[in-house]
Structure 1
Amino acid sequence: MSTSKHASVHDRWAHLRFSVVGQLLAAPPAKGELRAELKKLAQRTWQHPITGAPVRFAVSTIERWLLQARREKRDPVGVLRRKVRADAGIQHVVLAVREALRTQYGEHPSWSVQLHYDNLRAVAEHDRALAPVPSYSSIRRLFEAQGWRKRRRLSSRDTVGAERAEARLAAREVRSYEAPYVGSLWHWDGHGGSRQVLTARGEWITPVLIGVIDDRSRLACHLQWYLTEDAEGVAHALSQAIQKRGLPRAGMSDNGQANLATEISEGLARLGIVHDTTLAYSPYMNGKIESLWTNVEGRLMAMLEGVRDLTLASLNEATQAWCEYEYNRALHSETGQTPLARYLAGPDVLRPSPDSDALRLAFTRTDQRLQRRSDGTLVIATRRFEIPNRYRHLRQLHVRYAQWDLSQMHLLDERSGKILCRLYPQDKQSNARGVRRPLEPLATTAPESASRHEAPRASASMAPLLVKLMAQQTATGLPPAYLPMAGPSSTEGEES
């Protein structure tokens, strides 16, 4: 009788015993010939089910197996299993030792069983109720039976959040999950790389990879390296992921400062994306993107080991190629499909992506400032911006801007939240010429569009010919033939 190699010890013994007596059950011997058949079986050599060594069984043993199999009509193989000991699974540990170990484990769940045992012996030297101390094997079996497994500390810091997370992990089960639709949930996070890059300033810096992944399909929506993990990088990566794949319905990130920035939270709300964060010290909630980092380090970074002068631009170029042509097209062990195929198969709840200007305007913060009546200006980050004189009657102003890009400053209508006009920094050298514009009529009603409130400027619009030439350049699909100078921002220059 063939037995699977994965069968338990008890099943192996049952199958062997049934193979010994099975012939007698299939073809019962004639009356008076049973003893002779049992002697023949006793003279045969069988293979031990555990060691594989040759073994023989006595006549009385084979006869007992035969009687057991004859009595059992429904499961003759199961009745031949080895009997379970009556005290199996019972640890002969007194109640005082159990309670002492329970208390000790509750205070130190990160200790090993050996460390618990050694500390128990030390306590038993002063407490006779714990003596004699059971053997280490008994203590280890007690830990296994009670489910007292060694748990790694979630944080080395003894904070209230870490203690609350450990208590929750001990009291609540952890279950994997999957969104029912493509675009229903995205995950994003930052990952500190294992390689350094050489910057234009001659500095070695460890970059941060910001990645966005779809929960259902596991598709890497966008991966990009940045010199620092900040709100600007998160907004930049999310904008590119949205432009590539579409607008999702919800997103999840950790509680990092960059993910909780005002520009990010307000931008996601404007785009209709529900933003959830993982619980403190609970990275397993974002496990899908944590698993992505393993692939990045195990394959992408491993293939870059021989590159010495690694720059941020070359690293990003290699990352895009690896992401699109290997990771997104490799068979996923859990879904049985490639992320790209699963993404295209749907079903999806994605929405069309806004244009670049709308996304750039979405990831901004709303703030309030008082207008200085003397010269019609307001101050943002030590910089003074001029207010069009048609809004000179407003005392409190509502503006939208991103801290990393003060060139895009917009004035809002307090009631509707619509953009009234764009604000520009104060040009004191131009004001020194003594030319002053006449006062315009006060804006008492909210305009239908920002363009109607924009003051006429000589450079407000491009010439039609230049617009045509730029459209022709864009239609070629080629980047403009120039190299931008690296600015103070970590995003510009390096990614080009």
Structure 2
Amino acid sequence: MTQQARGPRVHERWAHLRFSVIGQLLAAPPAKGELKAAIEGLAGRTWQHPTTGEPVRFGFSTIEHWYYRALKERTDPVGVLRRKVRANAGRQHAICDAVRQAVLAQYAAHKSWSVQLHHDNLVALAETKPELTPVPSYPTLRRFMKANGLDKRRRVTSRQTDGADRAEDKLADREIRGYEAEYVGGLWHWDCHHGSKKVLTARGEWVTPILFGVLDDRSRLACHLQWYLAETAEIIAHGLSQAFQKRGLPRSALSDNGAAMTAAEITQGLARLGILHQTTLPYSPYQNAKQEAFWGPVEGRLMAMFEGVSDLTLAMLNEATQAWAEFDHNRKIHSEIGEAPITRFLAGPNVTRPCPDSNALRLAFTRTDHRMQRKSDGTVVIEGRRFEIPNRYRHLTRLEVRYAGWDLGLVHLVDERTGTVLTRLYPQDKTQNASGLRRTLSSIANGSATPTDVEPATGLPPLLARILDQQAATGLPPAYLPKDEAKDEEGETP
């Protein structure tokens, strides 16, 4: 086929050929009585077929039909010369209703099958169900499935779980669209990535490092990157605290559903800092695509430069990563936004907030739990360790405590009503308690009075005095028979 024969559409190529045949008759209309001779001259000429490129001729009546159709059209004479679309285009008459339902049911149960596998199973099913015969050919079935959007879909996971079913249903029912936050700091992404190169630890072990990364959605700025040897809630809190101190507090955040990402210390800490934490659907990494795509340059540019390093350590890797993030990724023109991430981050508009100090962040990333105070010694048990409650809170039975599972050296007692930190709790020191020294009881916290502030009441209790008066007012003797106990004590018989 020649270059001239190839074009965007077959119907347009035919329209252009037909217009080129009769175009001379429209540009220079023949005189009266000479139209027949002009058309016969065109019918005698050889033209190039628009699809095969072979020589072709057209009959007198065909050219005459083209001429009058174009002559009557005032706005688009080329458009009327296009080939008409078949009335049954896109329909497969070889596929009856029974076959159609069988294919749809088969696809609903097995979206990961190829068209060939669907066809083979349809042939096997037709052997037991005569209403499915004749079975359509493979090309017919392929055209039918393509026309109806029955494409082969890879399963999100081989596990049959509720999360996997929800992810597949969302892919089937909802469209996928790219998005971008309107403001810098409006949305942050974070995730962990297992590196492609191992590091040598001080213990002489080769370990695969894990990169924790935080990315701003609008600017694509790498807020913080750091390699660790594990993925735990402590690591997430450590990395997020540095990102917040570098770039400020975002308004919302998106992460996956990993155990470290959704630990109580992380979710409650983000809520205390005023950050809306959202998670992706299980088995739906495309919802966090910006973060997932960021791992490409990490491996393709950063890790590729360590190919000649034989004794890579975690410290060396982290130092190089910080330099690469600040001086390469953040300052390099991003192909999608057309500018450097740091330039867009500084240009705004910005909705980030100032970050509190390190102590406030440390206190924020803790979990809230409730414990029952043991009245005998004023202690509670947290993660298998016993902590002493200051005696001014001895009147409380149910206590609310805040702590991080990885740092039991920082445990606080908080007000259950307001969440205000009341005091810090320390582990019980039994060796110190063995000295025998005991503190004097302090006043009850928030108490208005203590029993030692007034003289103790004397005489009969008011209730007892009242019921005795009521008994005397009846004029009746007590409802019991007295017994002389003195005689029994002297040994006399009644």
1:419-450 Cα distance to aligned partner (Å, 9 max, x none) = 23333344555556x4847436325239xxxx
1:244-273 Cα distance to aligned partner (Å, 9 max, x none) = 211111112222111111101110110011
Q: Secondary structure at the match of 1:326?
A: helix
Distance 2:44 2:402 in 1: 94
Q: Which residue of 1 aligns with 2:314?
A: 312
Question: Could you tell me which amino acid in structure 1 is paired with residue 14 of structure 2?
Answer: W
Q: Which of 280, 283, 286 is the equivalent residue of 2:285?
A: 283
Distance 2:368 2:77 in 1: 78
The answer to whether the Cα contact below 8 Å between 2:43 and 2:58 also exists between their aligned partners in 1 is yes
Q: Secondary structure at the match of 1:260?
A: coil
1:96-118 Cα distance to aligned partner (Å, 9 max, x none) = 11111111111111101110001
The answer to whether the Cα contact below 8 Å between 1:393 and 1:442 also exists between their aligned partners in 2 is no
1:89 equivalenced with 2:90 (yes/no): yes
Once the two structures are TM-superposed, the CA of residue 406 in structure 1 deviates from its matched residue by: 1.9
- Structure 1 residues 438 and 125: CA distance shift in structure 2, 3 A: closer
Once the two structures are TM-superposed, the CA of residue 57 in structure 1 deviates from its matched residue by: 3.7
When structure 1 is superposed on structure 2, of 21-30 and 42-51 the one drifting more is: 42-51
Q: Which residue of 2 aligns with 1:172?
A: 174
1:214-250 Cα distance to aligned partner (Å, 9 max, x none) = 2222222222222111111111121111112111111
Q: Which residue of 2 aligns with 1:76?
A: 77
Distance 2:420 2:407 in 1: 20
Once the two structures are TM-superposed, the CA of residue 64 in structure 1 deviates from its matched residue by: 3.8
The answer to whether the Cα contact below 8 Å between 2:7 and 2:13 also exists between their aligned partners in 1 is no
Once the two structures are TM-superposed, the CA of residue 121 in structure 1 deviates from its matched residue by: 0.8
TM-score (norm 2): 0.81
Distance 2:174 2:320 in 1: 41
Q: Which residue of 2 aligns with 1:405?
A: 407
1:320-354 Cα distance to aligned partner (Å, 9 max, x none) = 23322333333334333333233222222211111
Q: Which residue of 1 aligns with 2:265?
A: 263
Question: Could you tell me which amino acid in structure 1 is paired with residue 58 of structure 2?
Answer: A
- Structure 1 residues 48 and 292: CA distance shift in structure 2, 3 A: farther
Once the two structures are TM-superposed, the CA of residue 412 in structure 1 deviates from its matched residue by: 2.0
Distance 2:361 2:44 in 1: 85
Distance 1:259 1:57 in 2: 72
Structure 1: 5+ residue runs without aligned partners?
Answer: 447-496
Q: Which of 400, 419, 422 is the equivalent residue of 1:420?
A: 422
Q: Which residue of 2 aligns with 1:241?
A: 243
Once the two structures are TM-superposed, the CA of residue 153 in structure 1 deviates from its matched residue by: 0.8
Distance 1:16 1:325 in 2: 58
- Structure 1 residues 115 and 353: CA distance shift in structure 2, 3 A: same
TM-score (norm 1): 0.80
Q: Which of 271, 274, 278 is the equivalent residue of 1:272?
A: 274
- Structure 1 residues 376 and 245: CA distance shift in structure 2, 3 A: same
1:321 equivalenced with 2:327 (yes/no): no
Question: Could you tell me which amino acid in structure 2 is paired with residue 279 of structure 1?
Answer: L
Distance 2:39 2:321 in 1: 72
The answer to whether the Cα contact below 8 Å between 1:207 and 1:228 also exists between their aligned partners in 2 is yes
1:19 equivalenced with 2:20 (yes/no): yes
- Structure 1 residues 109 and 372: CA distance shift in structure 2, 3 A: same
Which runs of structure 2 are paired with 1:305-384 in the superposition (5 Å)? 305-372=307-374, 376-384=378-386
Q: Which residue of 2 aligns with 1:213?
A: 215
Distance 1:309 1:131 in 2: 67
1:126-149 Cα distance to aligned partner (Å, 9 max, x none) = 222112211100000110121111
CA RMSD of aligned residues (A): 2.9
Distance 1:130 1:96 in 2: 6
Q: Which residue of 1 aligns with 2:196?
A: 194
Once the two structures are TM-superposed, the CA of residue 50 in structure 1 deviates from its matched residue by: 4.2
Distance 1:190 1:424 in 2: 34
Once the two structures are TM-superposed, the CA of residue 287 in structure 1 deviates from its matched residue by: 2.0
Distance 1:98 1:423 in 2: 70
The answer to whether the Cα contact below 8 Å between 1:392 and 1:442 also exists between their aligned partners in 2 is no
Q: Which residue of 2 aligns with 1:459?
A: none
Which runs of structure 2 are paired with 1:96-245 in the superposition (5 Å)? 96-245=98-247
Question: Could you tell me which amino acid in structure 2 is paired with residue 17 of structure 1?
Answer: R
Distance 2:13 2:321 in 1: 52
The answer to whether the Cα contact below 8 Å between 2:5 and 2:50 also exists between their aligned partners in 1 is no
Distance 2:4 2:357 in 1: 64
Once the two structures are TM-superposed, the CA of residue 44 in structure 1 deviates from its matched residue by: 6.7
- Structure 1 residues 415 and 123: CA distance shift in structure 2, 3 A: closer
Once the two structures are TM-superposed, the CA of residue 87 in structure 1 deviates from its matched residue by: 2.5
The answer to whether the Cα contact below 8 Å between 2:6 and 2:51 also exists between their aligned partners in 1 is no
Once the two structures are TM-superposed, the CA of residue 33 in structure 1 deviates from its matched residue by: 4.9
Once the two structures are TM-superposed, the CA of residue 80 in structure 1 deviates from its matched residue by: 1.6
The answer to whether the Cα contact below 8 Å between 1:3 and 1:15 also exists between their aligned partners in 2 is no
Q: Which residue of 2 aligns with 1:7?
A: 8
Distance 1:197 1:316 in 2: 11
Question: Could you tell me which amino acid in structure 2 is paired with residue 77 of structure 1?
Answer: V
When structure 1 is superposed on structure 2, of 352-361 and 65-74 the one drifting more is: 65-74
Distance 2:148 2:287 in 1: 26
The answer to whether the Cα contact below 8 Å between 1:189 and 1:253 also exists between their aligned partners in 2 is yes
Question: Could you tell me which amino acid in structure 2 is paired with residue 151 of structure 1?
Answer: R
When structure 1 is superposed on structure 2, of 320-329 and 105-114 the one drifting more is: 320-329
When structure 1 is superposed on structure 2, of 150-159 and 397-406 the one drifting more is: 397-406
Once the two structures are TM-superposed, the CA of residue 4 in structure 1 deviates from its matched residue by: 12
Distance 2:42 2:302 in 1: 63
Distance 2:338 2:4 in 1: 30
The answer to whether the Cα contact below 8 Å between 1:213 and 1:289 also exists between their aligned partners in 2 is yes
Distance 2:328 2:77 in 1: 54
Question: Could you tell me which amino acid in structure 1 is paired with residue 259 of structure 2?
Answer: Q
What percent identity do the matched residue pairs reach? Answer: 65
The answer to whether the Cα contact below 8 Å between 1:38 and 1:59 also exists between their aligned partners in 2 is no
Q: Which residue of 2 aligns with 1:442?
A: 443
Once the two structures are TM-superposed, the CA of residue 380 in structure 1 deviates from its matched residue by: 2.5
1:297 equivalenced with 2:299 (yes/no): yes
The answer to whether the Cα contact below 8 Å between 1:187 and 1:215 also exists between their aligned partners in 2 is yes
- Structure 1 residues 22 and 445: CA distance shift in structure 2, 3 A: farther
When structure 1 is superposed on structure 2, of 235-244 and 341-350 the one drifting more is: 341-350
Question: Could you tell me which amino acid in structure 1 is paired with residue 23 of structure 2?
Answer: G
Larger Rg: 2
Once the two structures are TM-superposed, the CA of residue 91 in structure 1 deviates from its matched residue by: 0.5
The answer to whether the Cα contact below 8 Å between 2:237 and 2:365 also exists between their aligned partners in 1 is yes
Question: Could you tell me which amino acid in structure 2 is paired with residue 271 of structure 1?
Answer: L
The answer to whether the Cα contact below 8 Å between 2:200 and 2:312 also exists between their aligned partners in 1 is yes
Once the two structures are TM-superposed, the CA of residue 95 in structure 1 deviates from its matched residue by: 1.4
Q: Secondary structure at the match of 1:252?
A: strand
Question: Could you tell me which amino acid in structure 1 is paired with residue 286 of structure 2?
Answer: Y
- Structure 1 residues 324 and 75: CA distance shift in structure 2, 3 A: same
- Structure 1 residues 323 and 54: CA distance shift in structure 2, 3 A: farther
Question: Could you tell me which amino acid in structure 2 is paired with residue 123 of structure 1?
Answer: L
Question: Could you tell me which amino acid in structure 1 is paired with residue 89 of structure 2?
Answer: A
Distance 2:439 2:329 in 1: 61
